[in-house]
Amino acid sequence: MTINYPNGRKREKSGHPENEHKTQRINFGNRGMSLEFLLNEANEYYRAHHIANIHKKPTPIQIVKVDYPHRTQAKITEAYFQKASTTDYNGIFDGKYIDFEAKETQNKTSFPLSNIHDHQIEHMLDIRRHGGCAFLIIYFKLHDEMLLTPIEVISKAKRLNKKSIGRQDLQTESFEIQRGSYIRADYISALKLYMEVYHE
Amino acid sequence: MTINYPNGRKREKSGHPENEHKTQRINFGNRGMSLEFLLNEANEYYRAHHIANIHKKPTPIQIVKVDYPHRTQAKITEAYFQKASTTDYNGIFDGKYIDFEAKETQNKTSFPLSNIHDHQIEHMLDIRRHGGCAFLIIYFKLHDEMLLTPIEVISKAKRLNKKSIGRQDLQTESFEIQRGSYIRADYISALKLYMEVYHE
């Protein structure tokens, strides 16, 4: 899959790159960019700079029918999306196993818990038992605010039968992901803080 | 996806389970069972018994066309298999990040290196640099022999422009995976040995 960089990486080559980059940020921000795009950008940057090795897992798909129009080519002609049994992202940072799910919301005041499945929470709690890091990255699109939220926070709210978590409560219990110099979702600093607090 | 257990788990309930199990092993072994099946079985067992949390990643697929025959159902009508950018399996064991690729061969005397891609080797060496475990699980089907081979062994052979590694050399440099009481590919003991040798 080819990846385009709508944040204008290519344009950095012309003119006054520093200023232009700054102007672009102010003018365009990352409006309209999906959290998935921003996280893929971050993960690519981290891999290229040997900071971390974290990947998005492929979408699980149930394949029903495959045709072979040419000998060497397989064409899938019937398939369906499957529910993910784990999370979207995993990998390694600072020798530690990292596992997270990314969710964006258009909601202004709270994060609805309906779009995170029980089996995903169970999976992440199991990762914690094995000594790994497990969390959500939540993106409040309308505020351009990104939070790293430990799975314990989500699990607790679910156990209390809450339907959502208020944005202010989330801010208190999460680690904010700042914009980096080159990437928006520069989540490694937040991850380091999380690891200091949640790992002995 | 439902999983059938052709090794006769269900039959263990009747008669003399111990003896029957033994007989079945002798009669059927795991002839015809794919390495993927055996590893999925092992990973399920490890998760259920809180030994490790390791999953097979979904096959990466490029989706071209999706139909919506019903409002709630999405049917993929054109899609293609993509080359995997990483490996088939990853997860956590004993607090450590685990990453491996599984390969089976009908070859009797050697393991051909053609079916392990350079970018997969690069990925696994990068995991090693970050402090994770990275290896191949190689299954010599005709010998019913399963080896856990550190990625360094594969990388070295590739750098020497070898086309294959002889089975005896592999045995020397690998950790043999024994049959467990309940699962064939009981690779955790081999993994522990690997970790003692390859981790400080």
Are B1 and A78 in contact (CB < 8 Å)?
Answer: no
> Mean pLDDT, to the nearest integer, of B26-40?
73
**ipTM here:** 0.82
The residue that leads in pLDDT, B6 or A151, is: A151
Whether the CB-CB separation of B139 and B184 falls below 8 Å is answered with: no
Query: Distance (Å) from the C-alpha of residue B194 to the closest C-alpha of chain A?
Result: 17
pLDDT of B154 reads 98
pLDDT of A200 reads 56
pLDDT of A32 reads 64
B18: pLDDT confidence band, cut at 50, 70 and 90?
Answer: very low
User: What is the full per-residue pLDDT of chain A (200 aa) written as tens digits?
Assistant: 334 443 433 333 333 434 444 433 433 455 568 999 999 999 999 999 999 999 999 999 999 999 998 877 899 999 999 988 899 999 999 999 999 999 999 999 999 999 899 999 999 999 999 999 999 999 999 999 999 999 999 999 999 999 999 999 999 999 999 999 999 999 999 999 999 999 75
pLDDT of B62 reads 94
B30: pLDDT confidence band, cut at 50, 70 and 90?
Answer: low
Are B95 and A97 in contact (CB < 8 Å)?
Answer: yes
Question: How far is CA A92 from each of CA B18, B174, B180, rounded to the nearest angstrom?
Answer: 42, 24, 29
A92 in reach of chain B (CB within 8 A): yes
Query: Distance (Å) from the C-alpha of residue A103 to the closest C-alpha of chain B?
Result: 20
B69 in reach of chain A (CB within 8 A): no
How do residues B112-125 score in pLDDT, each as one tens digit?
A: 999 899 999 999 99
Distance, in Å, from the CA atom of A96 to the CA atom of B83, rounded to the nearest integer, reads 27
The 3-state secondary structure of B21-43 reads HHHHHHHHCCCCCCHHHHHHHHH
Query: Distance (Å) from the C-alpha of residue A119 to the closest C-alpha of chain B?
Result: 13
User: CA quadruple A82, A152, A190, A176: dihedral positive or negative?
Assistant: positive
Q: Find the residue in A nearest to B93 (Cα).
A: A130
Question: Which residues in chain B are contacts of A130 at CB distance < 8 A?
Answer: 50, 52-53, 92-95
How confident is the prediction for chain B on average, in pLDDT? 86
pLDDT of A30 reads 53
Question: Which residues in chain B are contacts of A79 at CB distance < 8 A?
Answer: 61, 75-76, 79
Are B58 and A55 in contact (CB < 8 Å)?
Answer: no
pLDDT at B172 over 90: yes
How do residues B88-110 score in pLDDT, each as one tens digit?
A: 999 999 999 999 999 999 999 99
Query: Distance (Å) from the C-alpha of residue B93 to the closest C-alpha of chain A?
Result: 7
pLDDT at B163 over 70: yes
**Sequence-ordered strand ranges (E) for chain A:** 53-56, 61-70, 73-81, 89-93, 96-105, 110-112, 133-140, 145-150, 164-166, 175-176
pLDDT of A73 reads 85
Decide: residue A138, CB within 10 A, 0-12 exposed, 13-18 middle, 19+ buried.
Answer: buried
Distance, in Å, from the CA atom of B72 to the CA atom of B29, rounded to the nearest integer, reads 44
Are A130 and B94 in contact (CB < 8 Å)?
Answer: yes
SS3 label, residue B68: strand
How many other CB atoms sit within 10 Å of the CB of residue B198?
15
Are B92 and A131 in contact (CB < 8 Å)?
Answer: yes
Are A75 and B76 in contact (CB < 8 Å)?
Answer: no
Check residue A1 and report its DSSP letter. -
B85 in reach of chain A (CB within 8 A): yes
pLDDT of A33 reads 84
How do residues B37-64 score in pLDDT, each as one tens digit?
A: 999 999 999 999 999 999 999 999 999 9
Minimum mean pLDDT among B3-12, B49-58, B146-155: which range? B3-12
Whether the CB-CB separation of B100 and B153 falls below 8 Å is answered with: no
Entry pTM: 0.82
In a mutational test of the B interface, the residue from A97, A99, A125, A198 whose CB has the highest number of chain B CBs within 10 Å is A97
